[in-house]
A and B are shown apart, each in its own frame.
Chain A
Amino acid sequence: MLGDVRPPRNLSELFSGFLAIGARSFGGVMPWAYRVMVEERRWISAADFTETVGLCQFLPGPNIGNTSVVLGKRWFGWRGSIVGFCGLVAVPFVWVLGLAAFYADYATIPLVRAIVIGVGAAGAGLFIGTALKLGRPLARNPGAWVVAMGCFLAVAVGRVSLLAVVPVAAAVAFFLAWRKWL
């Protein structure tokens, strides 16, 4: 199986691979990252992908963005990190600004605004769904509930600033994990 893996041979290949991921990632980057890196280009194995993304998931910053940095570093050092990341966001960046410019012309039409707000609400729902998906394996873990609920109460109900919540939650969570209560 290891013999099947063919990491990118140079920075160009790295760039074009991530460019492809970014350009095709309508609806979510993760599935496309998997498709391009594991299935199409065979840069890494599925297990490696899962582990790397898993690590990146709990680091600050965008998940797949961090993955591009981590994998870029693995293959080509700091240059790889930069090239990988830039490849990932290049096309989306242009798309997003283009879409915004196009939309600006129609923004004042009430129906258009209503549609866009609906899209935003659906997007919020996707976040909620994603959180629940990620939380499923933790459902039977009382310590996990304590930390997750604590974060929710502080952020969503108490509207406490994240600058306070994240360090405190991290300290509590690390303590619980260290004591094996998590």
Chain B
Amino acid sequence: MLFDLALYFGLLSLISVGGIPSVLPEMQRYVVDVRQWATAADFMQMFAIGQAAPGPNVLIAGLIGWKVAGLAGAFVALGAICGPAALVAYWVAGVWERMKDSPWRAVAQRAMAPMVVGLIFSGGFVLATPGNVPDWRLWLIAVASAVALLATRLNPIWLLAAGGLAGGFLL
């Protein structure tokens, strides 16, 4: 099980363009639907805890790993989701400097930017639509939160708190 976890998360790591938001739906599909390591409700809760805690969102991987295989699972999952990508970053960092004046650097930047946008957006969209059936209440909270992020300078932690409050009333 640890091996499966490491392998799958390692693979996800390499395609996690845009970070964790991009791969969360895929992670959910695998963990909940394919392997049944957790229920959809569990997953949503782990996601919420990961968001509410300090630090990068990627820590949700640690939670999933913990649920699947205890503390060892937590370390393995977190290491696997970060490791391969970190290695890529490590390697690219060197290359990037040397390519400073190359036109390919600009090509790469122009190419990746819209992908990041599309994938992160999709990640949020899918997370707001668990079970493929839109729930207007979840959508209301998600849209309000997105608007608040764009229109205000509030620390996102308050937006999460507001979401929790709304959830308590609506759900």
User: Which of A74, A111, A182 is the one whose CB lies under 8 Å from B93?
Assistant: A74
Q: B66–A97 contact, CB under 8 A?
A: yes
Verify B54–A129 contact, CB threshold 8 A. Answer: no
Q: Indicate the member of A127, A128, A152 with the most B CB atoms within 10 Å.
A: A127
Interchain CB contact under 8 A, B82 and A62:
yes
A159-182 toward B: CB 8 Å interface, digit per residue (1/0)?
101110111011001101110001
Answer yes or no: A107 CB below 8 A from chain B CBs: yes
Chain B residues closer than 8 Å to A138, beta-carbon distance: 113-114, 117
B9 to chain A, nearest CB (A): 11
Please give, as numbers and ranges, the residues of chain A lying within 8 Å of B20 by CB-CB distance: 62
A97 surroundings in chain B (CB, below 8 A): 62-63, 66, 71, 74
Total A-B Cβ pairs within 8 A: 374
| Contact A129:B146 (CB < 8 A) given known A96-B59, A177-B107 | yes
Q: Which of A83-120 contact B (CB under 8 A)?
A: 85, 88-89, 91-93, 95-97, 99-100, 103, 107, 111, 113-120
- Interface flags for B60-74 (1: CB within 8 Å of A; 0: not) read 101100100001001
Chain B residue with the shortest CB-CB distance to A161: B26
Judged by a CB distance under 8 angstroms, whether A46 is at the interface is no
Residue A23, interface by CB 8 Å: yes
Interface residues of B in 34-52 (CB under 8 A from A): 41, 44-52
**A62, B19: Cβ atoms closer than 8 Å:** yes
Give the residue of A55, A119, A132, A176 whose beta carbon is less than 8 angstroms from that of B164.
A119
From B41, B58, B146, give the contact of A126 (CB < 8 A): B146
Residues of A within 8 A of B44 (CB): 116-117, 120
B residues within 8 A CB of A63? 19, 56
The answer to whether A155 and B25 have CB atoms under 8 Å apart is yes
Query: B148 to chain A: closest CB distance in Å?
Result: 8
With A69-B89, A132-B150 as known contacts, state yes or no: A152 contacts B107, CB within 8 Å: no
Q: Taking each of A22, A78, A122, A161, which has the highest tally of chain B beta carbons within 10 Å of its own beta carbon?
A: A122
Bound complex: CA A170 to CA B123 (Å): 17
- Most chain B CB within 10 A, of A24, A95, A118, A124, is at A124
Cα(A180)–Cα(B59), bound, Å: 38
Cβ of A70 under 8 Å from chain B: yes
Taking the closest CB of chain A, its distance from the CB of B124, in whole angstroms, is 3
Report the minimal beta-carbon distance from B166 to chain A, rounded to whole angstroms.
Answer: 5
Contact A131 B121 (CB under 8 A): yes
In angstroms, Cα B116 to Cα A135, docked, is: 9
**Do B111 and A177 touch across chains, with their CB atoms under 8 A apart?**
yes
Residues of chain B whose beta carbon lies under 8 Å from any beta carbon of chain A: 11-23, 25-26, 29, 41, 44-60, 62-63, 66, 71, 74, 78, 81-82, 84-86, 88-90, 92-94, 96, 106-128, 132, 137-139, 141-150, 155-168, 170-171
- A-B pairs, top 8 by smallest CB distance, nearest first, are A118-B167, A92-B55, A122-B163, A61-B85, A125-B145, A151-B118, A127-B124, A129-B149
Interface residues of chain A, those whose CB is within 8 Å of chain B, are 22-29, 54-66, 69-70, 73-74, 78, 81, 85, 88-89, 91-93, 95-97, 99-100, 103, 107, 111, 113-135, 138, 141, 143-152, 155-156, 159, 161-163, 165-167, 169-170, 173-174, 176-178, 182
